[in-house]
């Protein structure tokens, strides 16, 4: 499973918007890696930011 899949799965299981640090901790990933992946997923339209610094899966 790659970083993108792990990140989306973690957010889906949480069921609420999370900060990059929270996602990294829950998924067992490096925070810098999560921040880079979030930027890519937001550009692809798979994630969005409902509140500043929080991210969630686009439904």
Q: What is the largest CA-CA distance in the chain?
A: 28
pLDDT level of residue 59 (50, 70, 90 thresholds): confident
Q: What is the mean pLDDT of residues 44-57?
A: 96
Pick the CATH number of 3-54 from 1.10.10, 1.20.120, 1.10.3470, 1.20.58: 1.10.10
Q: What's the confidence (pLDDT) of residue 26?
A: 96
Entry pTM: 0.90
Other Cβ atoms closer than 10 A to 28: 8
Q: What is the pLDDT of residues 3-50, one digit of tens each?
A: 999 999 999 999 999 999 999 999 999 999 999 999 999 999 999 999
Cα angle 56-12-47, degrees, rounded to a multiple of 5: 30
Q: Give me the residue spans of the domains in the chain.
A: 3-54
């Amino acid at each position: 499973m790659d970083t993108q899949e792990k990140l989306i799965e973690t957010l889906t299981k949480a069921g609420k918007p999370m900060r990059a640090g929270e996602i990294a901790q829950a998924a067992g990933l490096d925070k810098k890696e999560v921040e880079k992946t979030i930027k890519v997923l937001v550009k692809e339209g798979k994630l969005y930011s409902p509140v500043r610094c929080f991210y969630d899966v686009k439904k």
